[in-house]
């Protein structure tokens, strides 16, 4: 069977169901056979996913794509397919996952385009790994960090808040927009009283900072990370160690901010110096502070919400980019807490 014959059998459009008497009523576009193969994906998974996002049916007859459905959604699909054809002709490579991520974001935000995703949104902070937003909120978050000196990323676990912030920090460092990166978390599990733990100071605090190390080593070659840590170009430390400092010309990330007290949050925010950018991440559903003690993240959300130079970006279970099961677990817990 030829590629053209194979794709002819893949059409999802039921002309009898749609009461079509001929194909002239359908929108049509053409792509080369190789482009169709990439676009449809294994067992048509890419096209089926696009159909699930929009009210359309997409099929193929030879090199010709046939589109039927809601007029507004047809217009969106036409734009996607045109840009796919142009990018394919330019030699752009696509994976099924990348196409699905792009389709999802375009369905959520019609102003976004396939070219935006493949030519603008993706970046490679340190030459090791390419980073791209996987949801519309992740893209909004990256834009907010690029355009503001202080950004709060608030939402459930697994939405990429910390990882994307570290990626932007690494990108800024390698572009020489800042001279150092400072990553910090409240070591609330040990009450920031670490003396009872075995080992030296670094060994005591490392377990609480390990997620930040993991993100760094995923983005930057391990030898480079080690050297930058030794030279203190990258500093990872508990929040308590920030007291009394002024952090200038730095990209500063406060992770797990839901576990800061009001005093700690104010202390951190007033450490920001000239030429610095700060990102605060947190999940208000996972507060580990002692009962009766208010979260500094919740208070900051109320106190700072009307300041123009500060942006808050909120994530939901729809933005979870871990295993599908994680998304279902997050949603189940949210539903359970709502019912209480």
Q: In this predicted structure, what is the pLDDT of residue 334?
A: 73
**Which pLDDT does position 338 carry in this prediction?**
67
Sequence ranges of the chain with CATH classification 3.30.1370.10: 3-121
Residue 201 to residue 314: CA distance in whole angstroms: 35
* Nearest-angstrom CA–CA distance, 75 and 68: 10
Tell me what pLDDT residue 1 has: 35
Which pLDDT value is given to residue 12?
46
pTM tops 0.85: no
Given this model, what pLDDT does residue 10 score? 42
Structure confidence at residue 340 (pLDDT) = 62
Domain 3-121 belongs to what topology? Ribosomal Protein S8; Chain: A, domain 1 (3.30.1370)
* CATH domain 136-339 topology: Rossmann fold (3.40.50)
Strands 234-238 and 27-30: unpaired
Q: Residues of CATH 3.40.50.300 domain(s) within the chain?
A: 136-339
Q: Which residues of the chain have pLDDT under 50?
A: 1-21, 23, 190-194
Q: Distance from CA of residue 39 to its chain's centroid? A: 23
Q: What pLDDT, on the 0 to 100 scale, is given for residue 323?
A: 67
223-238 pLDDT per residue, tens: 999 999 999 999 988 8
pLDDT digits (tens, 9 = 90+) for 113-147: 999 999 888 899 988 888 989 888 999 999 999 99
Predicted local distance difference test score (pLDDT) of residue 73: 93
């Amino acid at each position: 069977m030829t590629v053209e014959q194979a794709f002819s059998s893949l059409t999802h459009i039921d002309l009898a169901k749609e009461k079509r008497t001929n194909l002239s009523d359908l929108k049509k576009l053409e792509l080369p056979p190789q482009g169709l193969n990439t676009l449809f994906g294994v067992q048509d998974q890419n096209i089926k996913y696009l159909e699930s996002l929009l009210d359309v049916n997409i099929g193929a007859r030879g090199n010709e794509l046939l589109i039927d459905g809601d007029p507004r959604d047809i217009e969106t699909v036409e734009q996607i397919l045109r840009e796919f054809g142009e990018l394919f002709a330019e030699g752009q490579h696509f994976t099924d996952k990348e196409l699905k991520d792009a389709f999802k974001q375009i369905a959520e935000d019609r102003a976004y385009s396939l070219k935006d995703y493949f030519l603008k949104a993706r970046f490679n902070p340190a030459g090791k790994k390419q980073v791209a937003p996987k949801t519309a909120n992740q893209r909004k978050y990256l834009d907010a960090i690029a355009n503001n000196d202080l950004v709060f990323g608030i939402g459930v676990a697994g939405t990429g808040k910390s990882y994307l912030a570290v990626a932007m920090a690494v990108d800024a460092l390698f572009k020489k927009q800042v001279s150092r990166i400072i990553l910090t978390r409240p070591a609330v599990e040990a009450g920031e009283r670490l003396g009872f733990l075995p080992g030296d100071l670094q060994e005591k605090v490392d377990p609480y900072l390990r997620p930040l190390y993991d993100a760094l080593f995923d983005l930057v070659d391990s030898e480079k990370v080690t050297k930058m840590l030794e030279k203190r170009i990258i500093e990872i430390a508990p929040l308590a160690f920030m007291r009394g400092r002024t952090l200038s010309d730095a990209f500063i990330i406060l992770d797990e901010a839901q576990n800061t007290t009001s005093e700690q949050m104010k202390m951190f925010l007033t450490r920001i110096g000239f030429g610095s950018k700060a990102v605060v991440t947190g999940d208000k559903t996972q507060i580990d502070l002692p009962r009766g003690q208010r979260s500094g993240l919740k208070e900051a959300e109320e106190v700072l919400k009307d300041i123009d130079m500060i942006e808050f970006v909120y994530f939901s279970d729809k933005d979870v980019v871990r295993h599908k099961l994680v998304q279902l677990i997050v949603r189940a817990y949210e539903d359970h807490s709502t019912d209480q």
